[in-house]
Copies of this chain bind each other. A is one copy, B any other.
Amino acid sequence: MTNSSLPRTSTYTQRVEFGDCDPAGIVWFPHFFRWIDAASRHFFISCGVPSWQETTTTLGVIGTPLVDTQAQFTKTATYGDVLVITTSITEWRNKSFVQDHRIHRGEDAIMSCQEVRIFAGVKKDSPSSIYAMPIAPSIRSLCE
C-alpha cells in the first residue's frame, strides 16, 4: 500500500492581530484571503518549488493568480487566536489547478476555501497582461 492517493499538504500558521478585526470584534473576512494567498505560496515553497522571483527568470512564471474561488465561513475568529491553514492541491488540469485550504483554530473549523489558480506568464508587449501557461512538469512533479 502506498500513499499515492494522499496529496501533499502544507501548513501555515497565522496569528490574528487587533488590526485584522472589525468593529464587531471579529476578523474582517478579506483578511482570510490575504492569509490563504500566503498559504498558497507557502505550499509551493514547502514542496521545493523555487520562488516566483526565480521562476520569472527560469520559466517565465510570475506567480499563481486566482481564477475562481469558493469559500465557506463556519466560525468567527478574533485577535489573540492562532490559526492553522492546511493546504493541498486536489486537482491538476492542463492550464490550471485546484487548491484546497482549511483554516482551523485548534479543533474548530473556521473557514474552508477551494481555489482555481493558474501559473501565469506575462505578455512581453503588455506587462500588465497575464496568461495561463501550460503547467511546467518540473513544478508539478515537485508538488505531487
Residues of A that sit less than 8 Å from B by CB: 15, 17-19, 21-26, 28-31, 33-34, 37-38, 41, 51-53, 62-63, 65-73, 76, 78-80, 120, 122, 127-130
Contact, CB under 8 Å: B51 / A80:
yes
Looking at chain A's contact residues, the main secondary structure is: mixed
Contact, CB under 8 Å: A71 / B73:
no
A15 partner residues in chain B, CB cutoff 8 A: 38
23 contacts between A and B (CB under 8 A): A17-B41, A18-B23, A18-B41, A19-B34, A21-B22, A22-B22, A23-B62, A24-B122, A24-B130, A25-B128, A26-B128, A29-B33, A30-B34, A53-B78, A53-B80, A66-B73, A67-B72, A67-B73, A68-B70, A68-B72, A68-B73, A69-B70, A76-B129
Interchain CB contact (< 8 A) of A25 among B30, B33, B127: B127
Interchain CB contact (< 8 A) of A38 among B17, B52, B73: B17
Cα separation A62 to B24 with both chains bound (whole Å): 7
Q: Would you give the shortest CB distance from A76 to chain B, in whole angstroms? A: 6
Q: Would you give the shortest CB distance from A86 to chain B, in whole angstroms? A: 18
Contact, CB under 8 Å: A71 / B69:
yes
Nearest B-chain residue to A71, judged by Cβ? B69
